[in-house]
Chain A
Amino acid sequence: DQQVKQNSPSLSVQEGRISILNCDYTNSMFDYFLWYKKYPAEGPTFLISISSIKDKNEDGRFTVFLNKSAKHLSLHIVPSQPGDSAVYFCAASVGGGADGLTFGKGTHLIIQP
């Protein structure tokens, strides 16, 4: 049973436009959510997180939105840049995730010139 789902394996966006990556979860106990970015053959790097007490968190070009009633979160990247091409993982946890994060399968974002 996959508790964190990223239903789009890949997404292609034109440079300068907005990239929207989606993530759904099924476990209503999750209260902390993160997005990671991963290049091939490298470890994931942390992008942005959001607590369930918020519905939006912004950091530069990256904004994460959380809709608790729909059990849905999304990552917006504006404007999209070539260096944003990577695999993006959504992750969730109960509390801070001291006993581990639950990851989605990832979405491969391709920024086209």
Chain B
Amino acid sequence: SQTIHQWPATLVQPVGSPLSLECTVEGTSNPNLYWYRQAAGRGLQLLFYSVGIGQISSEVPQNLSASRPQDRQFILSSKKLLLSDSGFYLCAWSVARGYGYTFGSGTRLTVV
């Protein structure tokens, strides 16, 4: 069966520090991978998606970047965090055509 792992669960980082969140999927090959953010009082906003190794699409301009160094690994990064980067970050995967996402357990990021 397929599983998705996301870590860490919580993170408190000072403004200006770097960020690296990791997501891995098991039990499937060539998944579509996604990073979403849920900010306070807002819905789930798509940040990045990837349909293959090294292929990253960004939905919104931002202070973050994403990379997919391996088929089932998706990394969300920042060189210098801003206060506005605080939120709940979710990784998700789907089969190639979509039709159903599975989300990870999320990372609560607080930038102080």
A residues adjacent to B (C-beta < 8 A): 4, 6, 32, 34, 36, 41-46, 49, 89, 91, 93, 95-106
Contacts and interface: CB of A to CB of B under 8 A. Distances in A.
Contacts of A95: 97-98
Contacts of B96: 98
B12 to A, nearest CB: 14
B4 to A, nearest CB: 8
Nearest to A99: B49
B100 interface: yes
Contacts of A99: 49, 57, 98
A99 B92 CA distance: 12
Given A95-B98, A96-B94, A97-B98, A89 B103 contact: no
Interface string B80-112: 000000001010101011111111111010000
B15 interface: no
Given A41-B108, A43-B90, A44-B90, A96 B98 contact: yes
A98 B94 contact: yes
B41 interface: yes
Interface string B38-65: 0001111110010100000101000000
B103 A96 contact: no
